[in-house]
Amino acid sequence: MKRSLTILLLLLLAAMVLLSGCTDIRTNEPVNPASPPAPDPLKVHFIDVGQGDAILIQTPVGQNMLVDAGENIYGSRVIEYLEAQGVERLDVVVASHTHSDHIGGMDAVIDHFPVGAIYMPEITQNTKSFRDVLISVQRAGLTVTSAKAGVTVPLDGVECRLLAPVKEYYQELNDYSVVVRLAFGRHAFLLTGDAGNIPESDILGTKADLQATVLKVGHHGSYSSSSTRFLNAVGARYGVIMLGKDNDYGYPHDSALQRLNRTGMQIYRTDQNGSIVFSTDGQDLQISTER
Ligand SMILES: [Zn+2]
């Protein structure tokens, strides 16, 4: 009698544990085991901000990360774009480097959204754009985390590693660019800021895994980035060049385009395609473009 009561209690306890495990943490609604909801994909948005970079990453569990925010005049456009994607908070913000085509709109973004953490390379620049970002960072009560090779950005369910800057000193400010590798299932995204040939070679020297399905092409398609050795190591199937129509720099440069085309990768350009969104469940990859 006593033994059967114990068994009954154990069974009850097991049922309670099982039932409590059957709720979706986000909604607290019971999950119907017959039709489990499709998990959200990882989305990487290359936002058209003319001549500049702004990249939004939305993880399957609803975390948001922003890498760069375009020129000053695009701050409000980035905010609008993020709001249209349902962003209410940025868990991580990365400033690839201090040039205004990457951090110009970042002060407005930090003023607008709650931010969890901000990563920047250890380089300062005496420009209004950069000072404005630092003022916004301070106002938000944030402490800048130093971005460098080997740093892991804590995201749930998505691996996010920083592959650069590798060295502490570079002659060119662009070469301090933070390089981000996001990996999810079978796919990875490599975001290279404006890093040129020298940091590309430094990254190769670290033996870090830099294979990626999608490469954000370095420095808006400048001749000084995208060395063949680097492109071969990445082995990307898709390349995204972020640049403005009729820009003052003649981007993308022919020599870089030739090297990119030689790899056989398919190229998307924000000046031609507008904003470009990659979406993956870790297996399949979907691409949608504004134009
Ligand atoms: Zn740039």
User: Cα dist. 278→12, 67, 115, 243 in Å?
Assistant: 46, 15, 24, 18
Ligand 1 center–CA 53 separation, angstroms:
7
Ligand 1 center–CA 44 separation, angstroms:
19
Q: How far apart are CA 54 and CA 78, in angstroms?
A: 8
* pLDDT score for 36: 75
Tell me the pLDDT of the chain (291 aa) as tens digits. 455 555 555 555 454 544 444 444 455 555 555 677 778 999 999 999 999 999 999 999 999 999 999 999 999 999 999 999 999 999 999 999 999 999 999 999 999 999 999 999 999 999 999 999 999 999 999 999 999 999 999 999 999 999 999 999 999 999 999 999 999 999 999 999 999 999 999 999 999 999 999 999 999 999 999 999 999 999 999 999 999 999 999 999 999 999 999 999 999 999 999 999 999 999 999 999 999
* pLDDT score for 24: 45
CATH of 38-289, one of 1.10.10.10, 1.10.3190.10, 1.10.260.40, 3.60.15.10: 3.60.15.10
Ligand 1 center–CA 146 separation, angstroms:
20
Ligand 1 center–CA 51 separation, angstroms:
8
Ligand 1 center–CA 180 separation, angstroms:
15
Ligand 1 center–CA 49 separation, angstroms:
11
Ligand 1 center–CA 67 separation, angstroms:
12
The residues that bridge with 117 in the sheet, in sequence order, are 92
Contacts of 240 (CB under 8 A, 6+ apart): 46, 214, 215, 216, 217, 267, 268, 269, 270, 276
Ligand 1 center–CA 72 separation, angstroms:
13
User: Cα dist. 11→7, 33, 185, 284 in Å?
Assistant: 6, 21, 37, 41
Q: What is the pTM of this model?
A: 0.88
Contacts of 241 (CB under 8 A, 6+ apart): 217, 220, 221, 251, 252, 267, 268, 269, 270, 271
* pLDDT score for 39: 82
Query: Do the Cβ atoms of 242 and 216 come closer than 8 Å?
Result: yes
Ligand 1 center–CA 78 separation, angstroms:
16
* pLDDT score for 203: 98
Query: Do the Cβ atoms of 71 and 52 come closer than 8 Å?
Result: yes
* pLDDT score for 21: 41
Ligand 1 center–CA 268 separation, angstroms:
17
The SS3 assignment for 283 reads coil
